[in-house]
Amino acid sequence: MKIRKAGEKDWQGIYRFLSEIVTKGETYAINRDAGEEELKHLWLKKPEACFVAMLDGRLAGSYYLKKNQQGGGSHVCNAGYIVDPEFRGRGLARKMCAHSIETALEMGFEAMQYNFVVSTNEGAIHLWKSMGFQIVGTLPGAFRHPEQGPVEALIMYRFL
């Protein structure tokens, strides 16, 4: 697997599975009917950096890094990750998380925070914990899961 900076030419590959993930509405607090331009702004344009994971010559995953807050909180970054459903179970999310931690350090960040990890996303929670993240807050009923109704959202944090 190779991870590299994403460019405009990668957008259609990212959008293909990002739109599917967002439409399902199970893991990201993004409007399920968000259009392509909105998703492109959120994933590719707004963050300080966006990366793609290539596997067997195909775009298999992506992640972004951005400041979590401005001013006094700008030393903490936020990241978001997606893996093409076709490539799940191959360790891509773990490799992208490790890459994002290294990259965040290179960019001068001192900590990483996930603001809104949906509690039903058990695989991600297990992975983030194994990568050194701790649950530092729980938001009861903060996410409306399309099948399970209101579920908790977690705030996860780690120093880099």
pLDDT tens digits along 64-112: 999 999 999 999 999 999 999 999 999 999 999 999 999 999 999 999 9
Residue whose C-alpha is closest to residue 80's, from 98, 61, 95, 65? 65
Report how far apart the first and last C-alpha atoms of the chain are (Å, whole number).
Answer: 23
| 125 occurs within a structural domain | no
Enter the pTM of the model: 0.95
Question: How high is the mean pLDDT of the chain?
Answer: 97
- Tell me how many domains the chain contains: 1
| 106 occurs within a structural domain | yes
Q: Range of 62's domain?
A: 2-112
User: Where residue 20 sits, what CATH number does that domain have?
Assistant: 3.40.630.30
pLDDT score of 84: 96
d(CA 91, CA 141): 30
Alpha helices in the chain (DSSP H): 11-24, 36-40, 92-106, 122-130
| 67 occurs within a structural domain | yes
